[in-house]
Structure 1
Amino acid sequence: MVAVGCSSGGGSGAIGNGESATAKKGPVKPGGTVTIAEVGSQPDFIFPFAPATNQNGYNANLTQPLWPYLVYAGDGAQSVVNKEKSLFSSLVYSNGDKRITITLKSWNWSDGQPVTSRDFTFVYNLLKANASNWNAHLVGLFPEDVTSVSTPDAHTVVLDLTQAYNPDFYTDDVLSTIPLVPQHAWDKTSATGAVGDYDTTAAGAKAVYAYLQQEGAKTTDFTTDPLWQVVDGPWKLSEFRSNGYYSYVANKGYSGSPKATLDKVVFSPFTTDTPEINALRSGSSLDVASLPLNDIKQAQALTSSGYSITSVPIPGVAEIQPNLYNSEVGALLRQLYIRQAMEYLIDRTQIVDKVYNGYADPGNGPVPVKAAGAWASPLEKSGGPYPYDPAKAKSLLQAHGWKVTPGGTTTCASPGTGPAQCGEGISAGQALTFNLVYSSGRATTDVQNAAIKSSEAQAGITVNLKSEPFNTLISTIGTCTASSHPASSCGWQLAEFGYEPYSLYPNGTGYFDTGGNGNSGGYSDPEMDQLIKATEYGSSTTVFSQYEDYAAQQLPWLWLPLREGILVYRTKLQGVVPLNPFSAGQDFEDWAYTS
């Protein structure tokens, strides 16, 4: 992700507020190329419905400009549906919110064929037969919750659902995960086979899906495979290299608005922050980049070199995910009091101030305060249920039968399941020692985790750190549950992915519900499931706050501050800010150079 959102932040006078940068800077100069720095992971899959085992969020960044979602989330800095860029012209809920009538816009695919309701049924049929192998699948929701799909005409789709949903939730969090794809070009089971209506049977849908997923993993064919040349978004992929370099050119057949002014957008990969900031300082061809927060003092020099800078909060939550079913430490992490003690020992306020120079969400719970402030409860806004308090952490452990050794190794002195004992599955002498694996590439993440390691040691909790590239991290960490324990893919103990992105309605679906596709650590709690369902079915802000506060207190994850991005962009590049916080800043059709 380049950066997301827009607001002013903490420390440098050179960093402005993206809201004020929307004014026109001068006449637009058609054409030109923008080069964007991308630090960390690179995309590795192009079919928009990646396998459940592929959790690389950068793939969505790659595909959204090619195949936009039915409901396009985010309009500039506003947390709303972008009706101009969405594929629907109207969404009407009826029959007590159990029926949705979708009217599609009169758009064309890049090969001139119309986008129709048949493209929607193609997506529905593929997902109905393959939902368990779709990485964005929300268990129990689309397509399982659809009782029937009808298409009265070429631009109308009627969905009948099993029950009534909160329209805000269903539109913002479900329909916003569904792109339309070209049935007339993709409904085939082999490269040499003819296009047909294979998706209309379960067996055919499985065969088509398997073929498209197979082709979607062939990175060397991203720009040559005829499948991926048929798009309905504003851009077409023109280059893709093994090192993560890729580029787009404008789709001349794009039906939507606005149409691209730029000729080309290039993503240039950097493995870490250091070469990126060196490239910016050298006056290279980089036009858009993220300024590492540990290099915030460079802001003034960059503004003097023709760049503008703005802080950008990210709509998501940073976390350490505990593996509740790890064979060595799962029994420890299943104890809420141990997770509470660990959270009390994370000095989030100090991390925000010292590591991120004030440019970070405080990380007080499951809803970001800065990027989703309208949803944040009073509890989260006031600091959350677990402010930094080493004394409380030590007392909690001592009250549950632990011999606390600050700066040493805390061990279980009273095994058993009584109220003053360590808990089920914990043996006498067992130590509070954990391995934390996290995504490499950012110096601030290294500093943050070193600080956490140091502060946890105040109560004798040992945290061993290991960093590895994001793609390596997600490929080795599987979803762990009671039934999968002790599978080899569940050998991890604590994992920090960076952050988990949220859609417009941040209710935890897929993350904290039992079996959720983002619930890697196997957290399961009937009350949590019930509260999440309540937010899906009803629109009461009271119910949402009940869910939010319960999740904050129950710690399915350990909450961490979430850094803001510091977006650096050429001053003559218009339309970059306010950046859309929910499209990963992929709205390049809004950008243009000024003369």
Structure 2
Amino acid sequence: MPDIIKQLQIIGPEEFRVVLKRQVNPQWFIMNGLSQLSPLPEHVWKHFTSDEIYQHQSDVKFFQVVDGPLKPLALHVGQDLIMVPNQKWPFAKLNFDRFIFKFVDTDGQTVQQFEDGELDMINIPFGLWNAVQHVPGAYMVRLPMPLDYNDLLLNFRNPKVAFFRDVRVRQAMEDAIDQQEMIQLIDHGVGAEHWGPVPTQPPTFLTPAMQAGHYPVSYDPAHARQLLEQAGYSPGADGIMQKDGKKLEFTYLDTTGSVLLQQITLMTQAYLRRIGIDMRVREMEFNQVMALLNDPHADWEATGLGGGVGDYPTGELSFKTGSFENSGGYSDPTMDKLIDESTNQPGLSGLYAYETYASAQQPVLFMEREGVAMLAHNRIKGAAGFVDQLYNYYPEKLYCEAPQGKTAR
């Protein structure tokens, strides 16, 4: 999208027809193609270019036409976004006069403001999980698992870490990581394992074998060592595997600012060390990491930003040769062919073949994904229905129970 569109016909004020240049998988197009088209009222938007709309995205006065239950009233960058009910919203009315999103710098500040009553709902920081379990006057809600995964991104272009191009090395690295232990120790049990590119909760698009828990890779450190030996590696005096005088070692760029990510990094480093791979860690600002990933000539070796999938979880954006999100330069003709089949052929067989191959290939190391738990003050009701799995908000679900004889807002 949008290169596959041959013609877009306007049939009426509320109807259009899309004609494509070639056959595609209907389910893929409905979920990943049509979802990229956002109909806009012509009389409001026809005077603006896409660039002008983009440039005004932080100007709340620019957005006078909205199609949701809330509309922006004020944005103070770095401080808060104030939303108010959209009076033209034709569905369930909201039970409050304003909804304020606050931008908070640190996990500790988030919890402090919640305890002081400045915030009514917060995402629970995993680094402070135990500290918030007994906050008085509050309750916890576990939100649906996000439709994405954490990953360890590898730079296949960098000759210093050419061993990443050996699938046996990648499989060994994946086999070394105890995702279930990470979920228990870091995520406090709120998380899901990922051994491939398709989300496991819900298991809608997993192959039958994967639904039964059978993947081409899984936690098996003994098998990991066997794979490295098959690839010609043997342990050196310091325990690090080596071949032809070169050690299995690389530098991982860890983005600063998140206790959770630091814990994931440290545990991953320990798991890899146990099978003889030395993962050195270097901390770097997020923007610096992004600048490196956007430069195909940069000499970074590995990092981790997490991977997202479309509603229909194919891999054309992430793992196809030259694709937009393929920062590590992964390229494999078989993967390209299977991705094309998953997006072009009707049915699930193409998707099943792609995800099975991707799990075996590990174009990135697929890793556990922490869930999200929210803390809400007891006076706030309906928090369990506030967010869905795609992380859309439903503010009409929220309300307060008023004291007897008073009206809640």
TM-score (norm 2): 0.88
Match of 1:477 in 2: 293
Whole-Å Cα distance in 1 between the matches of residues 18 and 46 of structure 2? 22
Match of 1:113 in 2: none
**Contact 1:337 1:397 survives alignment (8 Å):** yes
Deviation at 1:563, TM superposition (A): 0.4
TM-score (norm 1): 0.62
Deviation at 1:157, TM superposition (A): 0.8
**Contact 2:25 2:347 survives alignment (8 Å):** no
Whole-Å Cα distance in 1 between the matches of residues 79 and 254 of structure 2? 21
Match of 2:395 in 1: 588
Deviation at 1:259, TM superposition (A): 4.1
Match of 2:301 in 1: 493
Structure-to-structure mapping, 1:93-112, within 5 angstroms: none
The percent of aligned pairs where both chains have the same amino acid is 23
Match of 2:119 in 1: 286
Q: Does 1:252 align with 2:87?
A: yes
Match of 1:277 in 2: 111
Q: Which SS does the other structure have where 2:252 is aligned?
A: strand
**Contact 2:141 2:383 survives alignment (8 Å):** no
Whole-Å Cα distance in 1 between the matches of residues 301 and 374 of structure 2? 34
Structure-to-structure mapping, 1:560-579, within 5 angstroms: 560-579=367-386
Paired residues, number: 401
Match of 1:20 in 2: none
Which of the residues 203, 209, 228 maps onto 1:397?
A: 228
Structure 1 pair 451–543 and aligned structure 2 pair: CA distance change class (3 A)? same
Deviation at 1:471, TM superposition (A): 4.6
Whole-Å Cα distance in 2 between the matches of residues 231 and 159 of structure 1? 24
**Contact 1:271 1:441 survives alignment (8 Å):** no
**Contact 2:146 2:391 survives alignment (8 Å):** no
Matching residue's letter, 1:275 = Q
Structure 1 pair 580–174 and aligned structure 2 pair: CA distance change class (3 A)? farther
Structure-to-structure mapping, 1:123-134, within 5 angstroms: none
**Contact 2:172 2:228 survives alignment (8 Å):** yes
Whole-Å Cα distance in 2 between the matches of residues 547 and 515 of structure 1? 17
Match of 1:325 in 2: 157
Deviation at 1:407, TM superposition (A): 5.1
Structure 1 pair 180–159 and aligned structure 2 pair: CA distance change class (3 A)? same
Q: Does 1:295 align with 2:128?
A: yes
Structure 1 pair 540–530 and aligned structure 2 pair: CA distance change class (3 A)? same
Structure 1 pair 406–594 and aligned structure 2 pair: CA distance change class (3 A)? farther
Deviation at 1:538, TM superposition (A): 3.5
Unaligned residue ranges in structure 1 (runs of 5+): 1-141, 190-207, 414-428, 481-486
Unaligned residue ranges in structure 2 (runs of 5+): 403-409
Whole-Å Cα distance in 2 between the matches of residues 576 and 185 of structure 1? 35
**Contact 1:317 1:562 survives alignment (8 Å):** yes
Matching residue's letter, 1:153 = G
Structure-to-structure mapping, 1:418-567, within 5 angstroms: 429-478=245-294, 480=296, 487=297, 490-497=298-305, 499-567=306-374
Q: Does 1:180 align with 2:17?
A: no
**Contact 2:386 2:397 survives alignment (8 Å):** no
Deviation at 1:592, TM superposition (A): 2.7
Whole-Å Cα distance in 1 between the matches of residues 303 and 382 of structure 2? 36
Which of the residues 332, 335, 338 maps onto 2:166?
A: 335
Q: Does 1:209 align with 2:50?
A: yes
Of stretches 391-400 and 465-474 in structure 1, the one that deviates more from structure 2 is 465-474
Match of 1:410 in 2: 241
**Contact 2:385 2:397 survives alignment (8 Å):** no
RMSD: 2.6
Deviation at 1:250, TM superposition (A): 2.1
Whole-Å Cα distance in 2 between the matches of residues 561 and 314 of structure 1? 11
**Contact 1:365 1:380 survives alignment (8 Å):** no
Q: Which SS does the other structure have where 1:231 is aligned?
A: coil
Q: Which SS does the other structure have where 1:229 is aligned?
A: coil
Match of 1:168 in 2: 27
Q: Which SS does the other structure have where 2:100 is aligned?
A: strand
Whole-Å Cα distance in 2 between the matches of residues 406 and 235 of structure 1? 63
Whole-Å Cα distance in 1 between the matches of residues 398 and 291 of structure 2? 34
Structure 1 pair 411–509 and aligned structure 2 pair: CA distance change class (3 A)? same
Whole-Å Cα distance in 2 between the matches of residues 451 and 521 of structure 1? 23
Deviation at 1:546, TM superposition (A): 1.8
**Contact 2:143 2:384 survives alignment (8 Å):** no
Structure 1 pair 383–276 and aligned structure 2 pair: CA distance change class (3 A)? farther
**Contact 2:385 2:394 survives alignment (8 Å):** no
